[in-house]
Amino acid sequence: MSTLLHIASSPRGDKSESLRIADTFVDVYRETHPDDEVVTWNLWDGTLPEFGPAAAGAKMTFIAGEPLEAEEAAAWDAVQATVQRFLAADRLLFSVPMWNAGVPYILKQFIDVISQPGTIWGLDPHTGYEPLLAGTGRKAAVIYTSGVWGPALGPAFGINHQSTFFNDWLHWTGITDITEIRHHPTLTGDATQSREAALSDARSTAKTF
């Protein structure tokens, strides 16, 4: 049995294009994988811890191999609990709207919280980073949406730091089995066609995911 974890980074609820596509994916996945567990993690639900001074200090204390105390220890416990919540799934669905050419800040916060030494990455002084999720069988489907930018449009409509950044992070962790589902309508009236194509891709991907 697998666990599908949907990590949602849009705060727009039923007005969100990325969540609409993700809901279709999840519905089809449930139908075609009845024995699997499906979990949704709305990053806006208040359960994602901050990664501020205490957590940053704890990370460096951990790397140095020194004991964690007081505020740093509590912050590190919250970080590690969040990491384990992520690692509990072997099938990952991310719904990622474009914000200001990149990803929502809550998703960047999520990345900063879970990208920790000893669980997500290792580091060799001679060979560099070691992606600790490589070879674990994890796979990701990522729904990328945007309201203005599109792959066929010029820089006057923005530049894509959304999928370039997020795909790079996935590869850095060791997750290389990645399927993209895209909805990038232009401002000239093809939103319905683009949405239907994305929904179709979501259905077909979910069946075999």
**Residue 138 — very low, low, confident or very high, per pLDDT cuts 50/70/90?**
very high
pLDDT in tens, 154-195: 999 999 999 999 999 999 999 999 999 999 999 998 999 999
Beta strands in the chain (DSSP E): 3-8, 37-42, 91-97, 121-124, 128-131, 139-145, 178-183
Q: CA of 86: how far to CAs of 81, 113, 188, in Å?
A: 9, 11, 39
- 93: closest CA among 184, 206, 193? 206
The predicted pLDDT at position 178 comes to 98
Show me where the domains of the chain are located.
Answer: 3-208
The predicted pLDDT at position 169 comes to 98
Q: Residues 115-125: what's their mean pLDDT?
A: 95
Whole-number Å distance between alpha carbons of 67 and 80? 15
The topology (CATH level 3) of 3-208 is Rossmann fold (3.40.50)
Pair type for strands 91-97 and 139-145: parallel
pLDDT in tens, 52-94: 999 999 999 999 999 999 999 999 999 999 999 999 999 999 9
CB 205 within 8 Å of CB 29: no
Whole-number Å distance between alpha carbons of 43 and 167? 19
The predicted pLDDT at position 103 comes to 98
- 152: closest CA among 122, 111, 114, 182? 182
The predicted pLDDT at position 26 comes to 98
- 114: closest CA among 82, 141, 66, 74? 82
pLDDT in tens, 10-59: 999 999 999 999 999 999 999 999 999 999 999 999 999 999 999 999 99
Residue 114 burial (C-beta neighbours within 10 Å; 0-12, 13-18, 19+): buried
The predicted pLDDT at position 157 comes to 97
The predicted pLDDT at position 12 comes to 97
